[in-house]
Amino acid sequence: MNAKLKIALLSMLGFSTVACCGSKKAGGKKDDAQPQIIESDSINTGIILMYGVPFPDGRPASPISEEEAAKRVEEIRTNEAATEDNVEVQKKEENEEEITIQRGPAPAPDGTLVTPITEEEAAKLIEEMESDKGKAQHGPARLPDGSAASTLSEEEAAKRVAEMEAKSEQAQK
C-alpha cells in the first residue's frame, strides 16, 4: 500500500491529515488565513514543534492600521455573540456527525454503549470464549424487569415470601 493510499485511508477514517499534506483542518471556524496545501506523500510537514512556530501560509505579510485591526477584533467579538445559539446547534450537529463518522461501538440492547477494549483484552476475551465453548452457561435467571435474579439465603427467601403474602392480603381487602 503506497503512502498516498495510506493518507487517503486516514482521511476516510476521520483523522486529520495535516501532518501528511501540510494543510490545516478548517474546523468550521472563520479564520483569516487560508493555509497553503503542500502536496506530499510523506508526513512531517505541518506539525508545530515545541519551541517552534506554525508553518507560514504563503501569503505576503503587510501592516494594516491600528483602527482596522481593532475593527477586525470587534467583528470577531460581534460574531461570537451573534452566533452563540448557532454554535450550540452546530456543536450538536458536529457531535452527531462525529458519531456517524466514527462508526463507534454499537449500543447494547439496553441502550448502553459498549466500552472499547484493547487488542489484548479482545484477544483474552476470545480465548476465554474459546475455552468455555461447550460448557453450558445459563447464568442467573432474569426477573421480569430484566435484572438478574440473585441467589437468596433461606432467611431472605422466607422474608420475601412473607412480604408477598402480606401484599396479597392487602390487595384482597
Partner 1 sequence: MKGQRLGLRKQIGLKLFNSLYDTAVERHTLRTLFWECTLRCNLKCRHCGSDCRTDVTERDMPLADFLRVLDEEVTPNIDPSQLLIIFSGGEVLVRSDIEEAGREVTRRGYMWGMVTNGMALSRERLRSLVAAGLRSISVSFDGFEPIHNHIRGNAHSFERARAAISYIREIEGLTYDVITCVTPALVERLEEWKEYLISEGITRWRIFSIFPAGRARHDDTLHLNAEQFRHLMEFIRHTRTEGRIDLNYACEGFLGGYEGEVRDHFYMCNAGVSVASIRVNGDISGCTSVRANYTQGNIYRDSFWQVWQDRFEVFRNRRWAHKGECAECRVWEFCRGGGMHLRDDDGELMYCHYKMLK
Residues 6+ apart with CB under 8 A from 15: none
Q: Is 39 among the residues that bind partner 1 (CB under 8 A)?
A: no
Q: Is 107 among the residues that bind partner 1 (CB under 8 A)?
A: no
Residues 6+ apart with CB under 8 A from 56: none
Q: Is 103 among the residues that bind partner 1 (CB under 8 A)?
A: yes
Residue span binding partner 1 (CB under 8 A) among the ranges 87-95, 135-143, 153-161, 165-173:
87-95
Within positions 113 to 132, which residues make up the interface with partner 1, using CB under 8 A? 115-120
73 vs 129, beta carbon nearer partner 1 = 73
Q: Which residue has the cell 431472605?
A: 156
129 vs 149, beta carbon nearer partner 1 = 129
Shortest approach of partner 1 to residue 167 CB, angstroms?
44
- State whether residue 142 is helix, strand or coil: strand
| One of 93, 100, 102, 126 touching partner 1 (CB under 8 A) | 102
Q: In 3D, which of 87, 116, 91 has the Cα closest to residue 102? A: 116
Q: Is 42 among the residues that bind partner 1 (CB under 8 A)?
A: yes
Q: How far is CA 11 from CA 15, 25, 113, 167, in A?
A: 5, 11, 25, 63
Q: Is 139 among the residues that bind partner 1 (CB under 8 A)?
A: no
15 vs 163, beta carbon nearer partner 1 = 15
Residues 6+ apart with CB under 8 A from 138: none
Taking residue 116's Cβ as centre, other Cβ atoms within 10 Å add up to 9
The b/e string for 55-78 (b: 16+ C-beta within 10 A; e otherwise) is beeeeeeeeeeeeeeeeeeeeeee
93 vs 156, beta carbon nearer partner 1 = 93
Contacts with partner 1 by CB under 8 A lie at 1, 3, 6-7, 9-10, 13-16, 18-20, 24-25, 27-29, 31-33, 38, 42-57, 59-66, 68-69, 72-73, 76-77, 80, 87, 90-91, 94-95, 98, 102-105, 115-120
